[in-house]
Amino acid sequence: MKRKCQDYESRLPDNTAMKQQQLPAFRLQLSANEILSGFFAIGLFCLGMGIILLLSAKSIREVEINYTAKCATCAKLREDATNFDKECNCSISFYLPQKMEGNVYLYYKLYGFYQNLYRYILSRSNIQLVGTDVKDVRNCAPFKTSDNGLPIAPCGAIANSMFNDTIVLLYNFNSSTHIRVPMVRTETAWWTDKYVKFQNPTFQNLSSAFAGTAKPPNWPKPVYELDEKDPGNNGFVNDDFIVWMRTAAFPNFKKLYRRLHRIGNFTEGLPAGSYSFIINYNFPVGRFQGQKAVVLSTLTWSGGSSLFLALAYLVTGAVTLLASFSMMAVHLKLKERKTFFLQ
């Protein structure tokens, strides 16, 4: 109960600015001029930036072809899951009025596919995919094991629902000559995915590495037959697989499918002319009222064609400028008060 004097002596403070709360401090207190010029600067910068972004977005060539309706017969066939073994091809022609210069990327796009569902995202095994334990299927419910009890590799809902249409682009040189546009099927995934996150189990033979596992129920063939020509693109490190495994944020999303191999006629990019897509239609979208599309696009420094960021900058710039004009009006009206704006 008794606090003694010794107690006080022991806490003699050294008299510092910190302890006496006298630390030098900068006042966040801006004058009208500073605020207004700040607003003007921000407004102008945003406008300028917006224009640059707008111009660069305009320079992008992009072609999107929705083939859900165009391949109606195939779509109908896939409505019924029992027809999984029946092949269905579909060809879509289109005309490219202007050439697409530079690197051209081929995407597939899905509408209404929710890759961002909680239980969908959960349903994968990163330990399995990194190759350390191919039989680890812990979080993969409901695609953990096959009917005969073997662990599925790659397990989980994401892998099971992998996009499996094949898309081939033909360049119709003339009515009789159709050149298959050369496409690169690798380097479509992030470097870290390809070389860190996804690794095949270390075995001399890939198929033996996956021995004792089952293929995902929806897949026509096991994971070690994804790309039998290129061992660097087979198994878990298959680029198409890796790209699919990176689950999109929105129900409508694009995924990188192929890159233009710039050789021969296509050194400059895609020349203008008539093209057609040959699509091997496997992926059922009708069952979730979804749609599929293919997208051909070039890129600029800021990525693909999106006007949104440009618009955001333009609108912000304009609004800020407007605000600063109105604030200036208020300020001039009350000028005799020698106003300080902020705090």
Partner 1 sequence: MGWRQSLQGADVPMARTIYLNEPLRNTFCKNSISTAKYSMWSFLPRYLYLQFSKTANAFFLFITILQQIPEVSPTGKYTTLVPLLVILVISGVKEIVEDYKRHMADKLVNSKNTIVLRQNAWQVIPWKEVNVGDIVKATNGQFLPADMVLISSSEPQATCFVATSNLDGETNLKIRQALSETATMKTEKQLSSLSGKIKCEEPNFHFNSFMGTLYLKEKSPISIGPDQVLLRGTQLKNTEWILGVVVYTGFETKFMQNAVKSPLKRSKVEKVTNMQILVLFLLLLVMSLVSCVGAIYWKDRYRAEPWYLGKKDYHSFGFDLLVFIILYHNLIPISLLVTLEIVKYIQALFINWDEDMHFKGNNVYAMARTSNLNEELGQVEYLFSDKTGTLTCNIMTFKKCSIAGIMYGDLPSKSDDGAKDLSQSPCFISDAYEFNDPALLQNFKNDHPTKEYIKEFLTLLCVCHTVVPEREGNNISYQASSPDEAALVKGAKKLGFVFTARMPNSVTIEAMGEELTFEILNVLEFSSNRKRMSIIVRTPEGQLRLYCKGADSVIYERLSEKSLFVEETLVHLENFAREGLRTLCVAYIDLTEIEYKQWLVMYKKASRAVRDRIQSLEDCYDSIEKKFLLLGATAIEDRLQARVPETITSLLKANIKIWVLTGDKQETAINIAYSCKLLSGQMPRIQLNTNSLEATQQVINQNCQDLGALLGKENDLALIIDGKTLKHALHVEVRKCFLNLALSCRTVLCCRLSPLQKAEIVDVVKKQVKAITLAIGDGANDVGMIQTAHVGVGISGNEGMLATNNSDYAIAQFSYLEKLLLVHGAWNYFRVTKCILYCFYKNVVLYIIELWFAIVNGFSGQIIFERWCISLYNVIFTSLPPFTLGIFERCCSQESLLRYPQLYRISQTGDIFNIKVLWIQCINAVVHSFILFWLPAKMLEHDVVLQSGYTTDYLFLGNFVYTYVVVTVCLKAGLETMSWNKFTHLAIWGSIMIWLGFFAVYSSLWPTIPVAPEMTGQGNMALVCPHFWLGFFIVPIVCLIQNVAWKSIRNTCHRTLLEEVREMESSGVQVLRRDSSQRSKVEEVNLQRSVSPRPCQVVFRNNSVDLGAPHGYAFSQVERAVISQEELVRSYDTTKSKPQRTFSATFE
Among 120, 150, 273, 291, which residue interacts with partner 1 (rule: CB under 8 A)? 120
CA distance 142 to 223: 19
Closest CA to 164 of 279, 76, 268, 67: 279
Closest distance to partner 1 from the beta carbon of 98 (Å):
19
Site for partner 1 in 74-93 (CB under 8 A): 81
Contact 280, 211 (CB under 8 A): no
Q: Residue 41 corresponds to which tokens in the numbers above?
A: 């600067």
Q: Is 41 in the site for partner 1 (CB under 8 A)?
A: no
Out of 19, 76, 86, 221, the residue judged to bind partner 1 by CB under 8 A: 19
User: Binder to partner 1 among 55, 196, 211, 272 (CB under 8 A)?
Assistant: 196
Count of residues near partner 1 by CB under 8 A: 105
164 vs 207 by CB, closer to partner 1: 164
CB of 190 to partner 1, least distance (A): 5
Q: Residue 286 interacts with partner 1 (CB under 8 A)?
A: no
Cα–Cα distance between 187 and 131 in angstroms, integer? Answer: 20
Q: 294 in helix, strand or coil?
A: strand
Q: Is 313 in the site for partner 1 (CB under 8 A)?
A: yes
Nearest to partner 1 of 81, 263 (CB atom): 81
Dihedral over Cα of 318, 300, 249, 293: its sign:
positive
CA quadruple 98, 99, 103, 109: dihedral sign: positive
Residue 135 contacts partner 1 per CB under 8 A: no
Q: Which of 85, 191, 205, 229 binds partner 1 (CB under 8 A)?
A: 191
Binder to partner 1 among 148, 205, 250, 336 (CB under 8 A)? 250
Q: Cβ atoms within 10 A of the Cβ of 48, count?
A: 13
| Residue with Cβ nearer partner 1 (6 or 175) | 6
Query: 105: part of which helix (H) or strand (E)?
Result: strand 104-111
